[in-house]
Amino acid sequence: MKPSSLRSEHAAVGLFAPVFSRGPVAREVSDAAFLQAMLDTEAGLARALSRAGFFPTEVGRAVTVAARADSFDIEELSRASAEAGNPVPALVRALIAAVPREAADAVHVGATSQDIIDTAFMLVAKRSLLFVLSDLSAAAETCAALAERHRATVMVGRTLLTPALPLTFGLKAALWLEAIGRAKARISAVFASLPLQFGGAAGTLSVLEDKGLEVSRFFAEEVGLVEPPVPWHTFRLPVIELASALSGASAVMGKVARDSLLLAQPEVGELESRGDGGTSSTLPQKRNPVEAVSVLGCTRRVPGLLATLVAASEHEHERAAGGWHAEWETLRDLLRLVGSASAWGRELVEGLRVDAVRMRRNLDATNGSLLAERVAALLAPKVGRLEAHSLVRRAALFARDAQRPFVDALFEDEECRFALQNAGLDRPRIEQALDPLTYLGSTDAFIDRVLAIHRGKKNDTGPSVIR
């Protein structure tokens, strides 16, 4: 067969591909890569059959030598797939034609189309997840460094997009780190448990008679997947678990991107991307946050794909009538988009510049009112929690509206001043209480805990990560 005229060496071709196909995962889920995974599956089966004594060892080797994607025409296989509803029958015919005559009988023995496609998807996922794990690991390392470096860099903590309490950027980075670590752990667990699919026409391996389990064990070893207790052809938990872990990583990277985007707004100015930024087609002065926006462009598409895979998981009897087919492009898109989001996310965090001066300036612009909770807590033993809250809130609202220092508002309100003085809280004591560096609670302990967990995980033996 003629080699494909498609640009198989490229992950994707298209106007939008650079945004939604960032990084190497797009290449790993390309047509050429998926074809190679199907061929690797067929070759692994042939070698397993040889090991089980069905064929001589050289037969399995011959199939393996012939199973090279660049020897097959993807466009021709694509056209032929419409006749059978999937590309495997055409691929089997082409592979039989490509191997020596003595090896032809060893192609696709005992397998059905779903065995080849499901196993190929697990191989594609395994190859793709290595790059996702690599990007998550790199992002985690950067977040760990940010957490340590900025553990005392105070900033405004915001709830419902409004100032709430002081915190440190180190704590925010530690939160990113912990979430990335959780996402990475879930993906690592899925990576280690991706299963072979091998059941034959109806999940019985009847063609192999009493040798089915032996071939299955050898098959799993040959392709580097886990041998499941039984074929999972109509129970799609492996697909849902994979999709769920990917969606978790997507959610984490989306959160990091959203935080970064909000803190990088010029009106806030607490973070900045190290790169030149994106240009506008109209406005010369614009410097757009391309990395964060691209992460979010990818992650916004992920929930719908997860929902489709879950909805498609209810399969009829021993072979699905449409649900299985709905998974193919959906799962491929999910892998590609999460791979792109993780690649963009890594670039985002590695390029962040932290403006500690602006963080402190924005905190000081609240005129001390972010420590109102602390003043109320000091006052509560004398007047009660509700009364303390009411008095301090009135002073805080006045300070905000009048653009006055919070400490002035506290002592200019006659009732509040009387309550403070009666509680032994003079102005120097309140000014000391309004220092944000003295009201960070367990911040250091939280950062230390997350960093310790991260360092422990770094010493764990996990899947080999590519870079």
Find the catalytic residue in 79, 280, 393, 442: 280
Strand ranges (E), 150-254: 154-159, 162-168
Clarify whether 188 is annotated catalytic: no
Total-model pTM: 0.92
Sorted by where each starts, the structural domains of the chain and their CATH numbers stand as 17-360+447-456 (1.20.200.10), 369-433 (no CATH)
Q: What pLDDT was estimated at residue 273?
A: 82
Does residue 155 carry a pLDDT above 70? Answer: yes
- Which whole number is the average pLDDT over 334-358? 97
Unique residue bearing structure tokens 């393996």:
64
Write the pLDDT tens digit of every residue in 370-418.
Answer: 999 999 999 999 999 999 999 999 999 999 999 999 999 999 999 999 9
Does residue 16 carry a pLDDT above 80? Answer: yes
CA nearest neighbour of 295 among 332, 333, 260:
260
Find the catalytic residue in 93, 182, 319, 394: 319
Write the pLDDT tens digit of every residue in 373-385.
Answer: 999 999 999 999 9
Does residue 13 carry a pLDDT above 90? Answer: no
- Measured distance CA(34)–CA(46) in Å, rounded: 19
DSSP 24-88: THHHHTSHHHHHHHHHHHHHHHHHHHHHTTSS-HHHHHHHHHH--GGGS-HHHHHHHHHHHTSSH
Clarify whether 455 is annotated catalytic: no
- Judged by average pLDDT, the poorest of 54-58, 228-232, 278-282, 333-337 is 278-282
Write the pLDDT tens digit of every residue in 253-297.
Answer: 999 999 999 999 999 999 998 655 565 556 555 678 899 999 999
Phi, psi of 165 (to 5 degrees): -145, 160
Which tokens is 66 given? Answer: 């012939």
- Measured distance CA(46)–CA(86) in Å, rounded: 21
Q: What pLDDT was estimated at residue 10?
A: 41
Write the pLDDT tens digit of every residue in 75-127.
Answer: 999 998 888 899 999 999 999 999 999 999 999 999 999 999 999 999 999 99
